Amino acid sequence: MGNSQPDGRFCGAYSGAGYLVDNASALASKLGIPNMVIGLIIVATCTSLPELVTSVVAAKKGNTGIAVGNIAGSNIFNTFLVIGISAVIYPVRIAPGTGLDLLVNIFASFLLFLFIFTGRGRKIERWEALVFIFAYMLYFVYIIN
């Protein structure tokens, strides 16, 4: 009690996030790639890998509710709290051309809703999963071009 030292795990996560942002920004500058593209590809991928692993492990163990809840919960958390808290600290400027990225996000959420609540038994079939993977690949190609 009375220990005012921050939790070491938080400091490590905070330092690691700072290191990732600093180096991703430096890489973007050196390669002439816009920060938005680095954020959408490298930073988003690196920060989402733990969610991917968690969802894959949950799905393999038959805990599909955890797999889907992990993704839906993460998107809700990121949309409301991450943007909200970030904007309280410093106003978040939305770059021109970001509208398409937001539309893709809305479309992905709509597609998830559609796939879960239509068809048989509230589950995502393999072909629907392939639609998600293919859509991400198309988006990825669009972003880098």
Residue 127 CA, chain-centre distance (Å), reads 22
In a domain, 136, yes or no: yes
In a domain, 39, yes or no: no
Question: Is the Cα torsion angle 22, 10, 109, 66 positive or negative in sign?
Answer: positive
Amino acid residing at 105: N
Give me the number of domains the chain comprises: 1
Q: What is the pTM of this model?
A: 0.73
Question: Is the Cα torsion angle 119, 64, 13, 136 positive or negative in sign?
Answer: negative
Distance CA 26, CA 127 (A): 39
The pLDDT-based confidence of 131 (bands split at 50, 70, 90) is very high
For 51-109, the pLDDT digits (tens) are 888 889 998 999 988 888 888 888 899 889 999 999 999 998 887 878 888 899 899 99
pLDDT of residue 12: 63
In a domain, 50, yes or no: no
In a domain, 111, yes or no: yes
Distance CA 21, CA 68 (A): 28
The pLDDT-based confidence of 110 (bands split at 50, 70, 90) is very high
pLDDT of residue 9: 55
- Structural domain of residue 115, as residue ranges? 94-145
pLDDT of residue 2: 47
Distance CA 52, CA 128 (A): 17
pLDDT of residue 89: 95
Cα atoms in the Cβ-side hemisphere of radius 13 Å centred on 132: 16
- For the chain, helix, strand, coil in percent to 5 are 80, 0, 20
For 4-42, the pLDDT digits (tens) are 445 555 566 567 767 777 787 788 778 888 777 877 777
